[in-house]
Chains A and B, each alone.
Chain A
Amino acid sequence: DAGVTQSPTHLIKTRGQHVTLRCSPISGHKSVSWYQQVLGQGPQFIFQYYEKEERGRGNFPDRFSARQFPNYSSELNVNALLLGDSALYLCASSLDLRSYTFGSGTRLTVV
Protein backbone atom coordinates (compact mmCIF):
# COMPACT_ATOMS: atom_id res chain seq x y z
CA ASP A 1 0.00 0.00 0.00
CA ALA A 2 1.26 3.46 -0.85
CA GLY A 3 1.99 5.69 2.10
CA VAL A 4 1.54 9.44 2.22
CA THR A 5 3.12 10.92 -0.89
CA GLN A 6 4.30 14.48 -1.19
CA SER A 7 5.53 16.43 -4.18
CA PRO A 8 7.89 17.87 -5.03
CA THR A 9 10.58 16.51 -2.73
CA HIS A 10 12.77 19.58 -3.04
CA LEU A 11 12.06 23.09 -4.21
CA ILE A 12 14.03 26.32 -4.49
CA LYS A 13 12.11 29.59 -4.75
CA THR A 14 12.98 33.27 -4.69
CA ARG A 15 11.68 35.70 -2.09
CA GLY A 16 8.29 37.07 -3.06
CA GLN A 17 7.32 34.09 -5.20
CA HIS A 18 4.44 31.74 -4.62
CA VAL A 19 4.68 27.99 -4.02
CA THR A 20 2.24 25.07 -4.09
CA LEU A 21 3.00 21.85 -2.28
CA ARG A 22 0.98 18.68 -2.82
CA CYS A 23 0.02 15.74 -0.65
CA SER A 24 -1.79 12.48 -1.40
CA PRO A 25 -3.03 10.69 1.73
CA ILE A 26 -3.16 6.98 2.30
CA SER A 27 -6.11 5.46 0.49
CA GLY A 28 -9.20 5.69 2.70
CA HIS A 29 -7.82 8.44 4.91
CA LYS A 30 -10.06 11.51 4.87
CA SER A 31 -7.97 13.80 7.07
CA VAL A 32 -4.85 15.66 5.99
CA SER A 33 -2.69 17.85 8.21
CA TRP A 34 0.20 20.11 7.27
CA TYR A 35 3.21 20.85 9.45
CA GLN A 36 6.22 23.12 9.02
CA GLN A 37 9.56 21.96 10.40
CA VAL A 38 12.30 24.56 10.53
CA LEU A 39 15.82 23.18 10.80
CA GLY A 40 16.59 22.08 14.32
CA GLN A 41 13.01 22.41 15.57
CA GLY A 42 10.01 20.16 15.95
CA PRO A 43 7.17 20.29 13.43
CA GLN A 44 4.64 23.10 13.88
CA PHE A 45 0.98 22.63 12.97
CA ILE A 46 -0.28 24.69 10.02
CA PHE A 47 -3.65 23.26 8.91
CA GLN A 48 -5.92 20.27 9.19
CA TYR A 49 -8.60 19.34 6.70
CA TYR A 50 -11.24 16.67 7.07
CA GLU A 51 -13.78 15.81 4.40
CA LYS A 52 -12.68 18.91 2.47
CA GLU A 53 -13.39 21.26 5.37
CA GLU A 54 -10.81 23.15 7.36
CA ARG A 55 -10.92 21.83 10.92
CA GLY A 56 -7.94 23.63 12.39
CA ARG A 57 -5.43 26.36 11.69
CA GLY A 58 -2.15 27.02 13.45
CA ASN A 59 -0.50 30.33 14.17
CA PHE A 60 0.63 31.13 10.64
CA PRO A 61 0.05 34.29 8.57
CA ASP A 62 -2.63 34.55 5.90
CA ARG A 63 0.06 34.00 3.28
CA PHE A 64 -0.43 30.34 4.07
CA SER A 65 -3.54 28.66 2.69
CA ALA A 66 -4.62 25.14 1.89
CA ARG A 67 -7.42 23.12 0.43
CA GLN A 68 -8.54 19.53 0.16
CA PHE A 69 -9.94 18.02 -2.98
CA PRO A 70 -12.79 15.48 -3.44
CA ASN A 71 -10.21 12.66 -3.67
CA TYR A 72 -8.84 13.86 -0.27
CA SER A 73 -5.53 15.02 -1.68
CA SER A 74 -4.43 18.42 -0.50
CA GLU A 75 -2.46 21.47 -1.53
CA LEU A 76 -0.60 23.92 0.67
CA ASN A 77 -0.05 27.34 -0.86
CA VAL A 78 2.34 29.97 0.40
CA ASN A 79 2.34 33.47 -1.11
CA ALA A 80 4.97 36.20 -0.95
CA LEU A 81 7.68 33.83 0.23
CA LEU A 82 10.09 34.98 2.90
CA LEU A 83 13.50 33.59 3.74
CA GLY A 84 11.98 32.35 7.00
CA ASP A 85 9.61 30.09 5.11
CA SER A 86 12.53 27.81 4.29
CA ALA A 87 11.68 24.54 5.98
CA LEU A 88 10.61 20.94 5.59
CA TYR A 89 6.86 20.82 5.01
CA LEU A 90 5.28 17.61 6.21
CA CYS A 91 1.89 16.21 5.39
CA ALA A 92 0.15 13.67 7.61
CA SER A 93 -2.97 11.66 6.90
CA SER A 94 -5.26 10.01 9.37
CA LEU A 95 -8.07 7.50 9.27
CA ASP A 96 -9.34 7.84 12.82
CA LEU A 97 -8.11 11.31 13.89
CA ARG A 98 -5.95 9.53 16.47
CA SER A 99 -3.08 8.07 14.46
CA TYR A 100 -1.10 10.10 11.97
CA THR A 101 1.07 8.82 9.15
CA PHE A 102 3.56 11.32 7.79
CA GLY A 103 5.04 11.67 4.35
CA SER A 104 8.71 12.33 3.65
CA GLY A 105 8.07 16.02 3.20
CA THR A 106 8.91 18.77 0.76
CA ARG A 107 12.10 20.64 1.51
CA LEU A 108 11.56 24.28 0.52
CA THR A 109 14.48 26.66 0.23
CA VAL A 110 13.77 30.36 -0.25
CA VAL A 111 16.69 32.41 -1.57
Chain B
Amino acid sequence: AQKVTQAQTEISVVEKEDVTLDCVYETRDTTYYLFWYKQPPSGELVFLIRRNSFDEQNEISGRYSWNFQKSTSSFNFTITASQVVDSAVYFCALSEAISNFGNEKLTFGTGTRLTIIP
Protein backbone atom coordinates (compact mmCIF):
# COMPACT_ATOMS: atom_id res chain seq x y z
CA ALA B 1 0.00 0.00 0.00
CA GLN B 2 1.04 3.55 -0.63
CA LYS B 3 2.29 5.59 2.27
CA VAL B 4 3.49 9.14 2.74
CA THR B 5 5.34 10.17 5.88
CA GLN B 6 5.83 13.73 7.02
CA ALA B 7 7.72 13.29 10.26
CA GLN B 8 7.74 16.97 11.15
CA THR B 9 4.42 17.76 12.79
CA GLU B 10 5.15 21.43 13.49
CA ILE B 11 7.98 23.78 12.57
CA SER B 12 8.49 27.37 13.66
CA VAL B 13 11.12 29.65 12.16
CA VAL B 14 11.82 33.35 12.31
CA GLU B 15 10.95 35.32 9.22
CA LYS B 16 13.64 35.34 6.50
CA GLU B 17 15.08 32.05 7.63
CA ASP B 18 15.15 29.10 5.24
CA VAL B 19 13.08 26.04 6.12
CA THR B 20 12.87 22.52 4.69
CA LEU B 21 9.84 20.28 4.96
CA ASP B 22 10.54 16.58 4.67
CA CYS B 23 8.51 13.99 2.81
CA VAL B 24 9.23 10.27 2.51
CA TYR B 25 7.02 7.98 0.46
CA GLU B 26 6.47 4.27 -0.15
CA THR B 27 5.09 2.79 -3.35
CA ARG B 28 5.49 -0.30 -5.51
CA ASP B 29 4.44 1.55 -8.65
CA THR B 30 7.14 2.41 -11.16
CA THR B 31 5.22 5.40 -12.47
CA TYR B 32 3.72 7.83 -10.03
CA TYR B 33 3.34 11.49 -9.28
CA LEU B 34 4.32 13.39 -6.17
CA PHE B 35 2.60 16.57 -5.05
CA TRP B 36 2.90 19.34 -2.51
CA TYR B 37 -0.14 21.30 -1.37
CA LYS B 38 -0.47 24.27 0.96
CA GLN B 39 -3.50 24.56 3.24
CA PRO B 40 -4.08 27.99 4.76
CA PRO B 41 -6.62 28.45 7.58
CA SER B 42 -9.38 28.88 4.98
CA GLY B 43 -9.13 25.14 4.32
CA GLU B 44 -8.59 25.12 0.58
CA LEU B 45 -5.71 22.95 -0.64
CA VAL B 46 -3.52 25.09 -2.86
CA PHE B 47 -1.50 23.20 -5.46
CA LEU B 48 2.23 23.91 -5.37
CA ILE B 49 3.93 21.28 -7.52
CA ARG B 50 3.49 17.94 -9.29
CA ARG B 51 6.53 15.83 -10.09
CA ASN B 52 6.68 12.76 -12.33
CA SER B 53 8.62 9.82 -10.93
CA PHE B 54 10.87 9.79 -13.99
CA ASP B 55 11.97 13.38 -13.57
CA GLU B 56 14.50 13.70 -10.77
CA GLN B 57 15.63 17.19 -11.62
CA ASN B 58 15.29 19.63 -8.77
CA GLU B 59 12.83 22.42 -9.38
CA ILE B 60 12.84 26.02 -8.26
CA SER B 61 9.93 28.43 -8.35
CA GLY B 62 10.73 31.76 -6.80
CA ARG B 63 11.44 31.17 -3.12
CA TYR B 64 10.27 27.56 -3.35
CA SER B 65 12.43 24.62 -4.33
CA TRP B 66 11.93 20.89 -4.35
CA ASN B 67 14.47 18.10 -4.05
CA PHE B 68 13.33 14.73 -5.41
CA GLN B 69 15.59 11.76 -4.64
CA LYS B 70 14.28 8.44 -5.84
CA SER B 71 17.11 6.53 -4.14
CA THR B 72 15.85 7.61 -0.73
CA SER B 73 12.14 7.93 -1.71
CA SER B 74 12.12 11.52 -0.59
CA PHE B 75 10.58 14.67 -2.00
CA ASN B 76 11.59 17.56 0.22
CA PHE B 77 10.36 21.13 -0.02
CA THR B 78 12.44 24.17 0.87
CA ILE B 79 11.23 27.72 1.37
CA THR B 80 13.99 30.30 1.12
CA ALA B 81 13.76 33.62 2.98
CA SER B 82 10.48 32.64 4.61
CA GLN B 83 7.67 35.15 5.00
CA VAL B 84 4.71 35.34 7.38
CA VAL B 85 2.38 34.53 4.47
CA ASP B 86 4.06 31.14 4.21
CA SER B 87 2.45 30.11 7.50
CA ALA B 88 0.14 27.20 6.73
CA VAL B 89 -0.11 23.43 6.83
CA TYR B 90 1.81 21.76 4.01
CA PHE B 91 0.90 18.34 2.67
CA CYS B 92 2.93 15.97 0.57
CA ALA B 93 0.91 13.51 -1.53
CA LEU B 94 1.47 10.51 -3.79
CA SER B 95 -0.73 9.38 -6.67
CA GLU B 96 -2.03 5.83 -6.93
CA ALA B 97 -3.93 4.24 -9.81
CA ILE B 98 -7.50 3.24 -8.92
CA SER B 99 -8.79 2.04 -12.29
CA ASN B 100 -7.64 0.73 -15.63
CA PHE B 101 -8.75 3.98 -17.21
CA GLY B 102 -5.98 6.10 -15.75
CA ASN B 103 -7.89 7.38 -12.75
CA GLU B 104 -5.82 8.06 -9.68
CA LYS B 105 -6.31 8.98 -6.07
CA LEU B 106 -3.97 10.94 -3.84
CA THR B 107 -2.50 9.53 -0.65
CA PHE B 108 -1.60 12.37 1.68
CA GLY B 109 0.83 12.63 4.53
CA THR B 110 -0.33 13.98 7.87
CA GLY B 111 0.99 17.44 7.10
CA THR B 112 3.50 19.83 8.61
CA ARG B 113 2.26 22.98 10.29
CA LEU B 114 4.67 25.78 9.47
CA THR B 115 4.64 28.96 11.51
CA ILE B 116 6.73 31.92 10.44
CA ILE B 117 7.43 34.24 13.35
CA PRO B 118 7.65 37.93 12.42
The docked-state distance in angstroms from the alpha carbon of A101 to that of B35 is 12
* Chain B interface bracket (under 10, 10 to 19, 20 to 34, 35 or more): 20 to 34
* Chain A interface bracket (under 10, 10 to 19, 20 to 34, 35 or more): 20 to 34
Q: Is the interface of B mostly helix, strand, loop or mixed?
A: strand
Minimum CB distance partner of B113 in chain A: A40
Pick the most buried of B37, B45, B102, B106: most chain A CB atoms within 10 A of its CB.
B45
A42 interfacial by beta-carbon distance below 8 Å = yes
Interface positions of A from 47 to 66, Cβ below 8 Å from B: 48, 50, 55-56, 58
Are A55 and B43 in contact, CB atoms less than 8 angstroms apart?
no
B91 interfacial by beta-carbon distance below 8 Å = yes
Q: How many A-B pairs with Cβ below 8 Å?
A: 65
State whether A45 and B106 are in contact (beta carbons under 8 Å apart), knowing that A50-B101, A55-B99, A55-B101 are contacts in the complex: yes
B42 interfacial by beta-carbon distance below 8 Å = yes
B55 interfacial by beta-carbon distance below 8 Å = no
User: Across the interface, which residues of B come within 8 angstroms of A50, CB to CB?
Assistant: 101, 103
Shortest C-beta distance, B75 to chain A (Å), equals: 15
The docked-state distance in angstroms from the alpha carbon of A97 to that of B43 is 22
